[in-house]
Amino acid sequence: MRARCKKNRLTVAFVALGCPKNIVDSEKMLADIGQAGFIISDDTDNADVVVINTCGFIKPAKDEAFEAIAAAVEQKKRGKVRKVVVAGCLVQRMGAELAKEMDGIDAIAGLGARDDIADIITRSLAQSARQKPAIYLEPSDRRIGDDTGRLLITPGHTPYLRISEGCDRACSFCTIPAIKGRFRSKPAELVLAEAQELVRNGAVEISIIAQDSTYYGTDLGIKNGLSRLVKELDKIEALRWIRLMYLYPAGIDDELIETIAGSKKVVNYIDMPIQHINDDILKAMRRGDRKEKIAELIEKLRRVMPDVVLRTTLIAGFPGESDEQFEELSDFVRTVKFDALGCFGFCAEEGTPAAKMTGQVPQAVKNERLERLMLTQQQIAFEKARGRIGQELVCLIDEVDESGLGRGRFYGQAPKIDSVCYIKSVPPGPSAVAKASIFAKATTDKMAGQKAHPTIRSLKPGEFVGVKVGGSQDYDLLCRAIL
């Protein structure tokens, strides 16, 4: 995602890479850059300074960051860009090596330097071309930043709310604890102040994010920290949906399930990365869960909340994963039928115990397993989407195009990562049909015969609308607004 910024006619182009946690850091940096008087721009080919906030979690993320840095450095060589500043997780992971490896960077700023970004940009502009890159690095686990006053990249009605930083789990494949340090909860009063601010600025849905949201409060000696926090957030009147992301399965206890089920605002949507299901693989991954417990948890969640939507994440081709163990995982996916699933091929990340394990699975096998899992899930997801035809749902509108076609989500769809609902509230006139290509097929068959509601009104981003599902297109739902 790219956003753009001028101080005394100086522009800063900002490249925001990575996960929602990194997006929050980008939003905070953008606000500071704007406040310092720079003009924010999205033209990374022509800016006084290009700032790249990187992700360094796994190889594909690193490759994306290297590509963005190389593109900015190239523009600098051509005289289109004056300075290149690199920030974020990749800097924290590689340290000064990054500046050595990639010639042309003017400053690198680790996670601890986030709140100094405007000063770092100003200092880099004062640097002579011959000066060595400036290095701003400090241990990553010193502090949990204040995330209020962000310049949002996400739509204002659906921002992220980060409740902690770092991670105390020790999954053998994961670089996060090394990059981000120990788990630090953001004090509840800060979280609540931030939530209030977001709501004052138009938020109606908030997605709670952390490396492991269930761990919230543990470092502060608070029991059931997430439940307690959620109960406080629940009291914010204008907030309609609270979405809990990144719930480590072993951390989902009865208290949390009761809190979610009993809350009017916490949506019945559980994002719980299980990573695998075979006990030996889970053990090698150093996960705190085992198959029996995970299966019991899923059964309990579905019993207590029959309409719960479950999302998980899996790793295919972990070291030592045999054909049988992979089949066990495939069978589990087929049987349990998660509503949504993200899957990654194992990446041997330097510095992690899993990278040194024997029995590394050849890349071709990993790719094949990954594809099989995704195809298995695709069938399930398509079937589930078809199963919603005829249902009436409440959708939050995220965007409306010029033809009046809305794109939104019901409670079972998290922003950015899940499928969406396409919502029509206008008669299918020729221009609407032409512009809304997604509806082209549905208009002719699945939605044919559906009558538009007699009261026609336009949709607006940030509003909740009752819809009836008239069709599905792959993962997505095709709906008509009912007023």
Residues that bind ligand SF4 (CB under 6 A): 167, 169, 171, 174, 176-177, 211-212, 248
- Closest to ligand SF4 by CB, 174 vs 239, is 174
- Closest to ligand SF4 by CB, 32 vs 212, is 212
33 sits in which H/E element: helix 20-35
Min dist. Cβ of residue 219 to ligand SF4 (A): 13
Evaluate whether 69 touches 101 at the Cβ level (below 8 Å). no
Min dist. Cβ of residue 239 to ligand SF4 (A): 27
Residues whose CB is less than 8 angstroms from the CB of residue 59 and which lie 6 or more positions away in sequence, other chains included: 347, 349
- Closest to ligand SF4 by CB, 14 vs 183, is 183
Min dist. Cβ of residue 247 to ligand SF4 (A): 10
| H-only helix segments in 132-187 | 176-180
- Closest to ligand SF4 by CB, 178 vs 304, is 178
- Closest to ligand SF4 by CB, 38 vs 215, is 215
465 sits in which H/E element: strand 464-473
| Rounded distance between C-alpha atoms, residue 203 and residue 153, angstroms | 13
- Closest to ligand SF4 by CB, 44 vs 175, is 175
- CB neighbourhood size of 313 (10 A): 17
Go through 150-160 and write b for each residue having 16 or more CB atoms within 10 A of its CB, e for each that does not.
Answer: bbbbbbebbbb
- Closest to ligand SF4 by CB, 245 vs 421, is 245
- Closest to ligand SF4 by CB, 177 vs 317, is 177
- Closest to ligand SF4 by CB, 293 vs 468, is 293
Residues whose CB is less than 8 angstroms from the CB of residue 261 and which lie 6 or more positions away in sequence, other chains included: 268, 304, 305
Count of helices and strands (H, E) across the chain: 15, 20
Min dist. Cβ of residue 344 to ligand SF4 (A): 11
SS3 66: helix
- Closest to ligand SF4 by CB, 86 vs 245, is 245
Q: Using CB atoms within 10 A of its CB, is residue 296 exposed (0-12), middle (13-18) or buried (19+)?
A: exposed
Evaluate whether 242 touches 229 at the Cβ level (below 8 Å). no
Min dist. Cβ of residue 164 to ligand SF4 (A): 11
| Rounded distance between C-alpha atoms, residue 282 and residue 312, angstroms | 15
Strand pairing class (421-424; 406-409): antiparallel
331 sits in which H/E element: helix 323-336
Min dist. Cβ of residue 313 to ligand SF4 (A): 9
Q: Using CB atoms within 10 A of its CB, is residue 223 exposed (0-12), middle (13-18) or buried (19+)?
A: exposed
Q: Which residue is it, tokens 């004062």?
A: 126
Min dist. Cβ of residue 275 to ligand SF4 (A): 7
Q: Break the chain down into helix, strand, coil percent, rounded to 5.
A: 40, 20, 40
- Closest to ligand SF4 by CB, 208 vs 423, is 208
Min dist. Cβ of residue 6 to ligand SF4 (A): 37
Q: Where are the beta strands (DSSP E) in 90-240?
A: 107-109, 134-136, 160-162, 164-165, 184-185, 205-209
Min dist. Cβ of residue 174 to ligand SF4 (A): 3
Strands, sheet with 309-316, edge to edge from the N-terminal-most edge strand: 269-271, 309-316, 340-345
Min dist. Cβ of residue 331 to ligand SF4 (A): 24
Min dist. Cβ of residue 182 to ligand SF4 (A): 11
